[in-house]
Chain A
Amino acid sequence: MASVIKPSKSDRAFNVFVVASLVLLFIILFIPIWSTITLSFRPNDFIGSALDGMTLPPWRWSVAAFRALLGNNSFVKATINSFRIFFEGIAAALLLTTPLAYALSIKTLPGRKFLYLFVIIPYLFDVGLVPNYLLVTGLGLTNKLAAVYLPGAISVYNTLIMKSFFEGIPEELKESARIDGASEFTVLMRIILPLSKPIMLTIGLYYGVRFWNDFFNAMLYLNDSALQPLPILLRNILLSSGMNEYVEVSAFGEAPIEAIKAASVLLAAIPMLVAYPFIQKYFVKGTMLGSLKG
């Protein structure tokens, strides 16, 4: 029973320090984000400095940039593609990562050390663009969405985190099941997996974010414009250069170009931002159990 101890002077100073730090951090985090938000609502006739831009009153804000983007057919298609990559990728990644991580976590598994070595070695050798390109195209994955997530469907980093999580599940649970005659398969299915929701969501999100933001694989392997996901579209918008010499028309109408850029980035980030709060509680629990055993 914790007794209520009056906070000492040094404890109060500590609390003040913590709160002050967080407020400072809040400001540091907020200002750049706020600058992006105000940039995305910037009207076409704005003149002024950055400070002026960030303090522009809301009635002067313009939604032209968002309207242009959401009305753009490619933008909608690209979003759908990104969602497909996101969900398919997570499914593939979890299906492939989980057995491996679990196998590595079983201390009594014969050959575990070799498996571990087998898994760790590629982690240290970034072989670069060409060897991977030769493989992926050789497998016939060109112009298939899977080319974006399949090469990265098992990440050693995530596997190790998942392994830690499995190691953190009390051995007694497994033992008692074994004593009752359960096979390893049953142990996995009946005991381990039901407890694994937090880590699945966590690792799933780790993978998902990476697949969502990928543009390099998409650029290399997806030739068909109908398949291109958001990052490619974004990159074309944000980095358009001399090739688009049809400078007399804009694909986006009335909004200033920097508003388009800011708005497109915000729109692309929204799904992630919306998803996270929902799984936040599982997420933290999952990482927590995964990290205990280091």
Chain B
Amino acid sequence: MKKFLQVAMVLLFAGVIVVSVSAQGTKKPVTIDLWYGAAITEAGPPPDDWVVYKVVRDKLGIELKLTALPSNESDQDVKVLAAAAANQLPDLFMVRRDPWITLIKQGLVAPVDDMYPLMPNRAQNYFDEDSISFTTINDKSYGMAVPGSLQKNEGLVIRKDWLNKLGLKMPTTLDELYNVLYAFTYKDPDGNGKNDTYGYGAFVELFDQEQYLGRRFEPIMGAFGVAGTWNMTKTDFGLNVKKPEYYEALQFVKKMVDNKVIDPDWPSLKKDDFRAAWKQGKFGVMREQFAALAAAANYAPFDKNFPNGEWVALAPPKGPKGKSATGVSDANYRIYAVSARAQKAGKKEAIAKLMDWMASDEGYRLLGWGVEGVNYSVDATGNITDKGVPDDTKFSSPKGQTVTQLRNMVFYNSDLELNARYPYFTTANGRKQGPLLYLKTFQGYPWVNVTGMGTIMPPASNAADLKRYINQGVQEFVLGKKPLTKENYDAFVAQMDKLGAAEWEKTAKAQMQENGYLK
């Protein structure tokens, strides 16, 4: 009897151990719903048999479900906010700053401070003090900052061939620039006998840091010392639009508009139209992004039309007080937030594991370029390139683009990335061309550093109406709908204050001072 009991006990123990061990081995995978910002939305999502799905399932025990956000920014906001209203936010999602702040107020996103220690890979290249403070509100971090595009990657460029044809020098001051613009408009710089060119080209491109007339006019604003939405100095903090120098800047732009030295389409053009226009030789001076200007695919149409055309970088012109700047530079991050729902379902650890794996060497390459030998190859100097792999799967091909849609989540502007993305090429008339030729120059020109501006909280009430009032008003002055007189401008500023600008300046100043951003 005793023997029997002993054997039974042993068997029971053994059984328990076996069961518990196997139970651990067959853990159910955690499903993570990820709404991501696609690299190129229209190229399409990753295929169903994407290798990353498998790796993530096998290595991390995560079942990944992907949804691409719309490419248009307000569509993104609508989608996220609508899901928020129904308390159906996905586990992990990209979100723009303004809606994100709203979500925090509503208690719909989870704090992520406890996730940072779980992501050592990310900490290396992504999470520095700046990026964490970017997502910190009221002492808690509510999102993970992923580096956005390269800083200071835009600049003024000018048609050197037009300058040469008209025998002009590169302008250094605002007045010299104006004369060049005038010549470009009226002196037929392309020599085709038709009066079809303009000096300056722009369109309205507004960002939180660049309101009023938008980013494309910043080099002119910089000449007056009023680049950017806010003046971030300790002594002169405030909305730039209220400064007297801004009035002068508007006068200059109005001069450009009145004398038609700027392409008159600028108020209603969209970005693609603007780019199509310079490729067709409509104007000779503009502020453009380095890759949009000089990457092979983008430069090709211009090259074909104007084989002897040449764009060179132009230092931002000096204004009446000797100031100059291409624009403002601030840290640029995308925010990936975790929904409160996901926290409730206990998914934060899995999300941290996922984010960290993405930043590991394996994840970085898989998400950034694909599979070696299929989508990319490594050349002798260790650079990643699309040569040496089949044309229809290389990472720059339409098919290749589908497997790199999530690269925005792992790129941090490393040299590896720059060399892979922006190779050099030869133009029709034999010149060496490529985005990197411009990048260093652009970055070397004067910029106004406005770190912290991106974290200014929107005004408590009336934000949309206030924004519209200011931006619409500025345009109306410049287009001559309202006469640009001191009187009118003062009245404009007074009404702005009434709509909440004064209050906003007060709270913004307090916030910036508290966080030590005012220099």
Contact = CB atoms under 8 A, between A and B. Distances in A.
Interface of A: 44-49, 71-74, 77, 129-130, 133-134, 137-138, 142, 219-220, 223-226, 232-233, 235-237, 239-253, 256-258, 261
Interface stretch (B15-23, B40-48, B508-516): B40-48
Nearest to A254: B300
B298 interface: yes
Interface in B266-306: 270-273, 275-276, 279-281, 289, 291-292, 295-298, 300-301, 304-305
A253 B398 contact: yes
Interface residues on B, range: 35 or more
Interface in B285-329: 289, 291-292, 295-298, 300-301, 304-305
Given A240-B41, A245-B149, A248-B435, A235 B79 contact: no
A129 B398 contact: no
A129 B435 contact: no
Given A142-B88, A242-B207, A247-B291, 12 more contacts: A44-B304, A45-B301, A46-B280, A73-B402, A225-B67, A239-B72, A240-B272, A242-B205, A245-B149, A246-B421, A249-B396, A257-B272
B44 A74 contact: yes
Interface of B: 35, 37-45, 48, 66-73, 75-76, 78-79, 82, 85-86, 88, 90, 148-149, 196, 205, 207, 270-273, 275-276, 279-281, 289, 291-292, 295-298, 300-301, 304-305, 396, 398-399, 401-402, 421-422, 435
A219 B398 contact: no
Contact of A248 (B42, B295, B398): B295
Contacts of A138: 86
Given A137-B88, A232-B70, A248-B435, A74 B422 contact: no
7 A-B pairs closest in CB distance = A248-B295, A74-B44, A225-B45, A251-B43, A223-B67, A239-B72, A247-B292
Contacts of B88: 137, 142
19 contacts: A73-B44, A74-B42, A134-B85, A137-B86, A224-B67, A239-B75, A241-B271, A244-B71, A245-B149, A246-B421, A247-B292, A247-B298, A248-B292, A248-B298, A249-B297, A249-B396, A250-B297, A251-B398, A256-B279
Contacts of A248: 291-292, 295-298, 421-422, 435
Nearest to A49: B196
A251 B42 contact: yes
A6 B295 CA distance: 73
B42 A233 contact: yes
A237 to B, nearest CB: 5
A236 B37 CA distance: 12
A242 B214 CA distance: 13
Contacts of A242: 73, 205, 207, 271
Given A220-B79, A240-B41, A247 B68 contact: no
Nearest to A237: B42
A47 B280 contact: yes
Contacts of A256: 276, 279, 301
Nearest to B303: A45
A236 B271 contact: no
B291 A71 contact: no
A82 to B, nearest CB: 15
A246 B40 contact: yes
Contacts of A253: 398
A196 B472 CA distance: 54
B78 A219 contact: yes
A130 B280 CA distance: 45
Which one of B44, B67, B88, B422 has the highest number of Cβ atoms from chain A below 10 Å of its Cβ? B44
Given A248-B298, A253-B398, A133 B85 contact: yes
B85 A130 contact: yes
Nearest to A74: B44
A242 B44 CA distance: 17
A286 to B, nearest CB: 37
Contacts of B398: 71-72, 251-253
Given A71-B398, A225-B44, A219 B298 contact: no
B82 A257 contact: no
B341 to A, nearest CB: 13
A264 B334 CA distance: 30
A247 B39 contact: no
A25 B64 CA distance: 55
B272 to A, nearest CB: 5
A242 B276 CA distance: 16
B396 A236 contact: no
Contact of B72 (A233, A236, A249, A250): A236
A177 to B, nearest CB: 50
Contact of A241 (B73, B276, B304, B401): B73
Contacts of B86: 133-134, 137-138
Nearest to B407: A246
A130 B88 CA distance: 13
A35 to B, nearest CB: 15
Which one of B69, B86, B148, B295 has the highest number of Cβ atoms from chain A below 10 Å of its Cβ? B86
B276 A244 contact: no
A244 B271 CA distance: 12
B198 to A, nearest CB: 14
A241 B37 CA distance: 12
Which one of A129, A237, A245, A258 has the highest number of Cβ atoms from chain B below 10 Å of its Cβ? A245
A138 B87 CA distance: 10
A251 B401 CA distance: 8
A219 B305 contact: no
A69 to B, nearest CB: 10
Given A248-B295, A251-B43, A243 B435 contact: no
B33 to A, nearest CB: 8
